[in-house]
Amino acid sequence: MPAKRDLLSMLDVREDLVGLLEFATNLKNRTKAGEPYEPLRGRSLAMIFEKASTRTRVSFEVGMTQLGGHALFLSPDDLQIGRGETIADTARVLSRYVDGIVYRAFKNENVRELAKHATVPVINGLDDREHPCQIITDLFTIQEHKGALPGKRLAYVGDGNNVCNSLLLGCAIAGMHVSAGVPKGYEPDASLLAAAKRIGKETGAEIAVVHDPFDAVERTDVVYTDVWVSMGMEKEREERERTFLPFQVNGKLVKAAGKDAIVMHCLPAHRGLEITDDVIDGPQSVVFDQAENRLHAQKAILARFLAGV
C-alpha cells in the first residue's frame, strides 16, 4: 500500500495543485453531465467538527455520497474525546473503522496530533492556522472565471486569519500575485507569510502585506474578503468592527479594483460589515459559484487522498 497522505496545509498540495484543480474541473463536468463516478464505493469518512459549519460539512457529506462512499458526522458531544479520551487514542480507534478523517478544529496542533496517530488520511477541514480545502476551491473558482492562474492578481482585504494564511500559500504555489490589505496588528502568520514569499521567488509570485485596502486592490483580478470576527473571537467583536470598518468591501473599493475584477467571500457573510449587499449580490460577485465549487473541489480532494486517484 502507498504511504498515507494528509492534507493539513496548502504546502501538502504544493507538488500537485495543478493536477488537483484539473481533477476538480473534470469531476464538476461529470456531475453536470449526470455521469456517475464512484471510486470510493464501500469506503467511509469520519467528520469530526468542533466548529459549526454549513459548506464544509454539506460539501464533504454530499461529495462522499456522490463518490459512492459514506460520511459519518461526529460532534464533540458524540465522541469520548470531549470527556477525556486523548486525540491520539481517538485517531487510533477511528483508523480501525474508517478510510479517512476530516477534522474541523479550533487548534492546528490538534489536527496535527490526530494526523500523527491516524493510520488513514486526515484532511484539515479548518483550524486556527489554515483552511486549505477552502483555498483549493477558491483557486478552482478563479481559474474558471479568469483563466490560467500564473500572473493573476488577488487582493485579500480584512483580517490576516486562517483563510488569508492559506491564500498566501496557495497563490504563491499557483504563481499568482497576492496583496493582503489588513489593519496594523492583524497581519497574517509571519512564518506562513515567509514561506509564501520563498515559494513566490520560485514561481514568480509577488507576495505583499499592506495596510491600505485601496493599495491592495490596485490592478487586481480578484477582491477577496472574509468575516472580521471568527468563531471564538466574540469578546473582540466591538473592537474588531471598529478597526476593520475602513476595510469593508463596498462599491467604492470594488470600483477602485476595476470592472473586470471578481469578488469572492468564503461565507458565511456578515452583510453590512465586511461586505455590502450591493457587492455580494452584484454583477462582479462569484461568491455563490465559489460556494458551489466546495462540492466539486472536495470530491477531488476525497478521491485523491482516500483512493489515490
Any catalytic annotation for residue 284?
no
Indicate which residue of 134, 143, 284, 298 is catalytic.
134
Indicate which residue of 112, 131, 265, 304 is catalytic.
131
Q: Which residues of 265-288 are buried (b: 16+ CB within 10 A; e: fewer)?
A: bbbebeeebbbbeebbeeebbbbe
Indicate which residue of 43, 55, 57, 104 is catalytic.
104
Residues found in the chain: 309
- The SS3 call for residue 209 is strand
pTM for this prediction: 0.96
Q: Which three cell numbers stand for residue 97?
A: 473503522
Any catalytic annotation for residue 226?
yes
Q: Where are the domains of the chain?
A: 10-131+293-307, 133-290
CA dihedral 255, 294, 113, 230 (to 10 degrees): 40
Q: What's the confidence (pLDDT) of residue 285?
A: 98
How is 166-206 classified by DSSP, letter by letter?
HHHHHHHHHT-EEEEE--TT-PPPHHHHHHHHHHHHHHT--
Q: What's the confidence (pLDDT) of residue 230?
A: 78
* pLDDT tens, N- to C-terminus, the chain (309 residues): 568 999 999 999 999 999 999 999 999 999 999 999 999 999 999 999 999 899 999 999 999 999 999 999 998 877 767 567 899 999 999 999 999 999 999 999 999 999 999 999 999 999 999 999 999 999 999 999 999 999 999 999 999 999 999 999 999 999 999 999 999 999 999 999 999 999 999 999 999 999 999 999 999 999 999 999 876 677 889 999 999 999 999 999 999 999 999 999 999 999 999 999 999 999 999 999 999 999 999 999 999 999 999
Give 245's contacts (C-beta < 8 A, 6+ positions apart): none
Any catalytic annotation for residue 266?
yes
CA dihedral 136, 137, 141, 147 (to 10 degrees): 20
Q: CA–CA separation, 188 vs 162, rounded Å?
A: 8
Any catalytic annotation for residue 131?
yes
Indicate which residue of 43, 129, 294, 296 is catalytic.
294
Amino acid at 1: M
| 277-295 residue pLDDT tens | 999 999 999 999 999 999 9
Q: CA–CA separation, 232 vs 51, rounded Å?
A: 9
**172 in Cβ contact with 200 (< 8 Å):** yes
Any catalytic annotation for residue 134?
yes
Q: CA–CA separation, 194 vs 59, rounded Å?
A: 31
Q: CA–CA separation, 281 vs 289, rounded Å?
A: 12
Hey, do 10-131+293-307 and 133-290 end up sharing a CATH topology, with the first three levels equal? yes
Indicate which residue of 159, 177, 226, 284 is catalytic.
226
| 43-102 residue pLDDT tens | 999 999 999 899 999 999 999 999 999 999 998 877 767 567 899 999 999 999 999 999
Indicate which residue of 153, 265, 266, 298 is catalytic.
266
Q: CA–CA separation, 289 vs 226, rounded Å?
A: 16
Measure Cα distances from 80 to 102, 108, 168, 214, 238 in Å: 17, 20, 36, 49, 36
133-290: which CATH topology? Rossmann fold (3.40.50)
10-131+293-307: which CATH topology? Rossmann fold (3.40.50)
Q: What's the confidence (pLDDT) of residue 23?
A: 98
